[in-house]
Amino acid sequence: MQAGRGGNAGAGPDGDTRRDGAPGAGAVDLGDGVWQLAVPFPNPLKATLVYAMESPGGLVLVDAGWDGDESWAGLTSAVEATGHAMSDVEGVVLTHFHPDHTGLCGRVREASGAWIAMHDSDFHTFDLMTGGRDAAWLDEQTANLRAAGASEEDLAAYREGTETAPPTTRASRPDRLLADDEKIQLAGRTLRTVWTPGHTPGHVCFALDSADMVFTGDHVLQKTTPHVGNFVFPLEERDALGEFMRSQRKISSMGITRAFGAHGTPIADLAGRSAQLLAHHEDRLDDLCRDLEGGALTLWQIASRMQWYRPWGELPVMGKQMALSEAAAHLRHLVGTGRVVQVEDSDPARFVNAAGERA
């Protein structure tokens, strides 16, 4: 899922379909033996784009889509539009653990006996996500929000608006782990995993060895800036934004031109789009440092000053949590690089520009 500013929209593939990959697009023949399947997603993004290729045992899918009846009907009809049935699906390779990518894996496996594969670094998080959202989980989330500077009114709104059931069930649990540079066998060719941590710790892209083509999941998107967040107090040791930026440089240096993300339009210039995403985050880091020159701020105050898809006061409860997560990732990167420091013994935690602190 995404938060943040968008980029320039690219052109959609030719064919009898909607060009934005929204529900109703069905199956689009991208050439090179690849089909793009638009799976409805109850979110402003409208669809998760799944990719299908022939394999020795039938079809291999890249991602599966959100777990819902409308989504399942969309995936089923799109697979049938390629001339196959759901029972032909041999396996699903997952770009990452988020529910709009993993949700339908259980239904696919039930219909076809398919194997499900995910990078090892996301597997543990998937188990945590599907383990249920009990009172202890909710207490942990609200403690994070309180440490970020949320008011009691904000905390009450969060508790009221948070679903208790996880959006993906254990039925979708992967049974195969992927490693970086692993080869997945297709019909007469292979699909190679490219580990690109950042959006999640185990996010992977998939490069098609016989074509100038890579499936980028949520790592590189044409219309939106992928969400990069890690909202835990104290700030996590993991530098998610640093990982994301290194992964952008990695994917853009592979010499592949065409990229196909899980949402939005195809990318005709992968290196150029990666450069735009890197510049976007560098600008945000600089803006945040300037905000902290005026004095110490809480994470909540920092996030409220950043630019989102709508003004801070209009963001829904879960939208604010995602924004806080992304702000925390930027803050963590700045602390790690020495540009920002946490005010000692501050509660809620406050942060200040390191240059001003030393002055």
* 160-182 confidence digits (pLDDT tens): 766 555 678 889 999 999 999 99
Please report, to the nearest 10 degrees, the dihedral formed by the alpha carbons of residues 211, 213, 215, 220 taken in order: 170
113-167 pLDDT tens trace: 999 999 999 998 888 777 766 677 778 888 888 888 888 888 888 887 665 556 7
**Going along 209-286, which residue ranges are E strands?**
213-217, 224-226, 258-261
Has domain 2-287 been given CATH number 3.60.15.10?
A: yes
More confident residue, 127 or 60: 60
What are the boundaries of each domain within the chain?
2-287
The pLDDT of residue 168 is 81
Per-residue burial over 248-274, b = 16 or more CB atoms within 10 Å of its CB, e = otherwise: bebbbeeebebbbbbbbbbbeebbebb
> Tell me, what's the pLDDT at 158?
80
- Please give the pLDDT value at position 166: 61
Q: Is 23 left (phi over 0), alpha (psi -120 to 50) or beta?
A: beta
Burial class for 227, CB neighbours closer than 10 Å (0-12, 13-18, 19+): buried
Q: How confident is the model at residue 210 (pLDDT cuts 50, 70, 90)?
A: confident
SS3 118: strand
CA distances from 308 to 2, 47, 141, 282 (A): 10, 21, 21, 16
Q: Name residue 181's amino acid.
A: D
Q: Classify 183 as helix, strand or coil.
A: strand
What strands, in cross-sheet order, belong to the sheet with 350-353?
297-298, 350-353, 340-342
Backbone angles phi, psi at 196, to 5 degrees: -130, 70
Burial class (CB in 10 A: 0-12, 13-18, 19+), 172: buried
pLDDT tens profile 290-330:
999 989 999 999 999 998 888 998 988 888 888 999 999 99
Question: In whole angstroms, how far apart are CA 75 and each of 50, 78, 323?
Answer: 8, 5, 30
Q: Where are the beta strands (DSSP E) in 227-285?
A: 258-261
pLDDT at residue number 233: 62
Closest CA to 37 of 91, 73, 90, 88: 73
Phi, psi dihedral angles at 231 (to 5 degrees): -95, 90
Read off the tokens for 233: 């107090």
- Cβ neighbours of residue 241 under 8 Å, at least 6 residues apart? 198, 228, 281, 329, 330, 332, 333
Grouping H, G, I as helix, E, B as strand and the rest as coil, residue 314 is helix
Tell me, what's the pLDDT at 57?
Answer: 94
Q: What is the pLDDT of residue 279?
A: 97
**What is the pTM (predicted TM-score) of this model?**
0.88
pLDDT at 25: 53
pLDDT tens, position by position, 2-55: 333 333 222 222 223 333 444 445 899 999 999 999 999 988 888 999 999 999
pLDDT score for 45: 82
Question: What pLDDT is recorded for position 256?
Answer: 97
Note the pLDDT of residue 24: 47
Q: For 72-80, what is the mean pLDDT?
A: 97
| pLDDT on residue 16 | 30
Q: Count Cβ atoms below 10 Å from residue 346 Cβ, excluding itself.
A: 12
